[in-house]
Chain A
Amino acid sequence: MLLLSLKLAWRETAHSWSRFVFFFLCIALGVGAIVAVDLFATNVEEAILGDARGLLGGDIELSWRRTMSQNGQDVLDSLSERQITVSHITEFAAMAAVESDQPHNQRTKAASQLVELKALDSLYPLYGSLLVEPAESIEQLLAALPTGCQRTPCFGAIAQESLLIRLNVSLGSELRIGQTNFIITGILGKEPDKIATAFSLGPRIMISREALDATELVKTGSRIHERYRLRLLPSENLERWLGELRGRLSREGVQISSYRDAQPRLRRFLDQLTLYLGLIGMTILWVGGIGVACTIQGFITQKTPIIATLKTLGADSSQIIYIYLTQSLLLGSIGSLAGGMLGTGLHQGLPLLLQGIIPETFSVDPTLTPILRGIAVGTLATLAFSLWPLLAIRSVSPSLIFRQDIDRATIHTKSLSWVVTLMTILKNWWYDRVQRLTSLLIGGSLLGLAVWQAHSLTLGLFFAGAFIVGILALLGGTSVLFWILRHIHFPQLLLLRHSTNNLQRPGNFTKAMTLAIGIGVMLMTTLITVQQTLLNLIEDQIPSRAPSFFFIDIQPDQQAPFRQIVEQHIPDSDYDLVPVVRSRLTAIDEQTINPEDHKGKRNGWYFTREYVVTTFQSLPKDNLLTQGQWWDNTNLQNPANDSPALNHVPLVSVEEDAAKHLGLSLGSTLTLNIQGVPFTTKVSSLRSVDWGSFSMNFFMIVEPGSLDGAPITYIATARVPKTVQIPLQQAIVAAMPNVTAIHVGDVLDNIAKIFRQLAMGIQSLAVLCLITGAVVMIAAISINRYRRVHELAILKALGGSRGLLLFSLGTEFGLIGGFAGLVGLGLGCLLSWSILYFFFDLSWAMNISVLLTGLLMTIVLTLVTGLLGTYRLLGFSPLSVLRQE
């Protein structure tokens, strides 16, 4: 039987392969998208795991957010004695200014720029290689330069090209960072340990450790990141070393990671990204599945005489279903194979679209497993989408062979109300064991596919459920539009009536076409609306009272000069200056916190992050007390409290989300490590904070006086008119080179840029979904090609001109586009509203221009697609067509 089925399937396919081109395409596009995303995910995994040592920069990394303690230094010294290579890197944000003779207040162009500074030792990089132009040694490029500079000390520096562009300088130009001058000696090509440029404050600049000391930028309380990378001997046991280091450095607030941790945050981000891209790929495959179902249904209708013949020869329905299922699966696997090849091609393009989001070491190498998986997915989807239309074989009576007309007439029952029809369908389904089993098989296959793609039962169920709801909603919406259309009469326009009747004719696949296009429109609308809303939030919705600058690392003795400069530039002095200390959480209610226990976990970030603690006398603006009480002013001024009891525990007010995740309540005690000194506080209140205000907001605020004696630095925010922004930045950098100025607009631009890049990658796949919808439409049109040729021939014979016929066809396809557009846009609005409301807590606003453009483009798409599929039919001579009858 299998041999017979394969023989029939192969012959049928070989005899009329052109009829199945769209079948192949429907499957190939979906499989192509899935394979491309899977290949991409595999490469990402390889880039992270395969080059894990390069990405981490060593076998083990010890990272501090402050300068090393003596104990830490002792541990590191002991490592060198045990033949462990230790490379020391320091990273922090700093200001780089162009060295010029012109006074800063006379400059009009930005001559200073926030940079991400990285100080290297001679061992860097322990793994991987640094690409620099010109290709000289790092020591040579970063060496001290005794001559050729306007000021000494002077060193060489390697800069990212974007810094040169932003400051309008070139190789050989002179910059000033802190107390030192630098000549740009090299341009940075590839940085092996740059995990991802998902977010950076500014361009990278690399200097030597010697030069770092000369800048005098590292001071107590400075916001720095010290990284010590360890290279173990091949014979050493990584786990044993990790255990030893974690034990010896347990009280140092150090983060210890091994290359095997493989960048959990980056990995999670890329996993999420590929998961969503994969689900869009699955949507494309399912939209293609609609085309498969239509093609099979049309094919079975055309094959009715052969099916009847086979039945007369003694074949039962299951044998014939088996024969045609074999053919579908054969076609599906050929389509999937083509999809595998298409996916390999698309895969080359994905990294270009996601540039800047993926690791720099990423390489595009096709691997076999994702391709094989894609072929399996495509074949399984073919099975799921072919089975139902194949069931129609059961109702083909063998007597059709000699009595076609009467029997066909019995198929069309008189029109019943939809409730009765639905009830009949449900009743038939319930009493038909084969239908029940097939539904289970189809449902199971689709669910299996969704779960396989989503790597999670819950998400797979959610995806399949959402798809079904989407389809039902699209079908419901289309039915309503049909109902409206049926109740509008076009008495004067015969051709218009002809096209609207054509839409509602049984077997015309109008709903399938609307569905296939509508899903693409829904996806696009959702993506564009969500993207627009988020971009608007980033770009336009910054509150008018948001500051223009954040200034960090202001030393206590720089308070007065800072105030003076700012007041000179801003007449109404709209700025805030607050003291801060950097700390890490070490215990809650005297229970020691081990950051390792929370690493990589959801919201584990609250336990492992650095907390910037400040003090305010009164509740800051944009803060709302939700529990407890703010420290009472009068109490503080009360002489009785001037010298608090020795056992007085300072009070702290904690942001409510942080409190929730840390498990804090009123009265809990928190122990923070401030530059190696333990500092215990008691929670006296919880606050809600409006983070969107872009003001200085803090997770933890302690009562005034409690930070006395701690290594305080100051941070400031200033709201500055645009015209004064550059002069103010120049003045501060010139007077206080250690102070870092962060321009809020630049940071938001940076976020928006990355967001756009991400959105572009996702949207490209959504466009593929629309293309698949168009292919499904052409497939559905081509199924009825012969009927259309016949109709057009009659209309032509009766005197219909080509223009009139075009008008009729155009109206039909335009209406399909209109329906798909209206329903797809409506559902897209609903979906985007849900995403914005439930996930982002944002309000949704109707963007009329986006919706109108969407509707218009959908109509144009269906018009062009439909006319492409039928235009050739207009060329047939009516006589030649009718003579064949």
Chain B
Amino acid sequence: MQLSAGNHAVQILHDISFEVSAKQVLAIVGPSGSGKSTLLGLLAGLDHPTHGSIHIHGTNITTLAESAMAHFRRQHIGYVFQAFHLIPTLTAIENVALPLELQGLGTGEERAKSLLQAVGLEQRFHHYPIQLSGGEQQRVALARAFISQPPLLLADEPTGNLDSTTGNLVIDLLWQLHEQHDSTLILVTHDRTLAARAQRILTLQDGAIVHDTALPS
């Protein structure tokens, strides 16, 4: 993976090759600038690799055009960001239901409610993001990521902006939802304790995989 900044090309990732089996939990760790987030972005089809290919559920996503990729993403991938990225003008329930609405599957209100209840936000249905705390916002983001029941869930530093207590609560919920939905979970984290809960850890350094460790379940 190569990116250009001005006239300079920056090699972000190279010689990356790995497979993740269904329902597995994979943690990607590594120092800042090692290419963790870029790798996650590539898996989500948010970026295109300069070389190579990525196959998810038998589909080579690197060959998909923009709208086909958007369609694929809607049905197969959920994404949780470090900075939550909720839409500020929509309420909690509307934010959660947004992926269903984008798929043209109605307002998804009932499903959004049950997911918000699952993450303990039954009192916050009609609150706007600005009226929610960081932890609450991330819980809304979790509910949003799971609403389409995607087989693959990607989480980028999901606790990076939260204090440790709130972070733990969010991680418990993430695991709980992952188990309930039988999804594959790939998360990027700095947090060694969090990584230790995964079944496998991929360590990145300077854009390359330096360790690929399977952990005992």
Contact = CB atoms under 8 A, between A and B. Distances in A.
Nearest to A15: B89
B41 A399 contact: yes
The 8 closest A-B pairs by CB, nearest first: A314-B74, A316-B70, A11-B89, A398-B46, A316-B67, A309-B85, A399-B46, A314-B73
Contact of B89 (A1, A12, A312): A12
The dominant DSSP class at the B interface is: mixed
B81 A402 contact: yes
Interface of A: 1, 3-4, 7-8, 11-12, 15, 305-306, 308-319, 394, 397-399, 401-403, 405-406, 409-410, 412, 414
B115 to A, nearest CB: 15
Given A402-B81, A406-B3, A313 B67 contact: no
Nearest to A306: B87
Given A309-B87, A311-B70, A403-B37, A7 B94 contact: yes
B58 interface: no
Contacts, number: 100
B23 to A, nearest CB: 22
A8 B10 contact: no
A8 B87 contact: yes
A11 B5 contact: no
Interface stretch (B96-104, B118-126, B171-179, B205-213): B96-104
A312 B79 contact: yes
Contacts of A318: 67
B70 A315 contact: yes
B55 to A, nearest CB: 19
Contact of B71 (A7, A8, A316): A316
A410 B3 CA distance: 9
B5 A314 contact: no
Interface string B71-100: 101110101011001111110001000110
A405 B5 CA distance: 9
A401 B71 contact: no
B47 interface: yes
Contacts of A403: 3, 37-38, 41
A551 B29 CA distance: 107
Contacts of A308: 85
13 contacts: A4-B101, A11-B89, A309-B81, A310-B98, A312-B46, A313-B98, A313-B102, A314-B70, A314-B102, A314-B148, A316-B71, A394-B66, A397-B46
Contacts of A402: 37, 41, 81-82, 156
Given A8-B89, A309-B87, A317 B67 contact: yes
Contacts of B71: 314, 316
Interface in B1-49: 3-7, 10, 37-38, 41, 44, 46-47
Interface of B: 3-7, 10, 37-38, 41, 44, 46-47, 66-67, 70-71, 73-75, 77, 79, 81-82, 85-90, 94, 98-99, 101-104, 107, 144, 148, 156
B184 to A, nearest CB: 17
B90 A8 contact: yes
Contacts of A3: 101, 107
A7 B98 CA distance: 11
B27 to A, nearest CB: 17
Nearest to B81: A401
Contact of B47 (A15, A314, A394, A397): A397
B66 A314 contact: no
Nearest to A410: B4
A179 B103 CA distance: 95
A308 B83 CA distance: 13
Q: Which among A309, A313, A317, A409 has the greatest number of chain B C-beta atoms within 10 A?
A: A313
Given A7-B90, A317-B67, A410-B5, 5 more contacts: A314-B74, A314-B99, A314-B103, A405-B5, A410-B3
B90 A313 contact: no
B142 to A, nearest CB: 13
B42 to A, nearest CB: 9
Contacts of B75: 314
Contacts of A401: 46, 81, 85
B7 A414 contact: yes
B104 A1 contact: yes
Contacts of B81: 309, 312, 401-402
Contact of B85 (A15, A305, A399, A410): A305
Contact of B101 (A1, A312, A412): A1
A521 B211 CA distance: 69
Contacts of B38: 403
Contacts of A15: 88-89
A398 B46 CA distance: 5
Contacts of B70: 311, 314-317, 319
A314 B71 CA distance: 6
Nearest to A409: B5
Nearest to B103: A314
Contacts of B107: 3
Nearest to B84: A309
A111 B175 CA distance: 107
Nearest to B144: A313
Contacts of B46: 311-312, 397-399, 401
A401 B38 CA distance: 11
A312 B82 CA distance: 14
B73 A409 contact: no
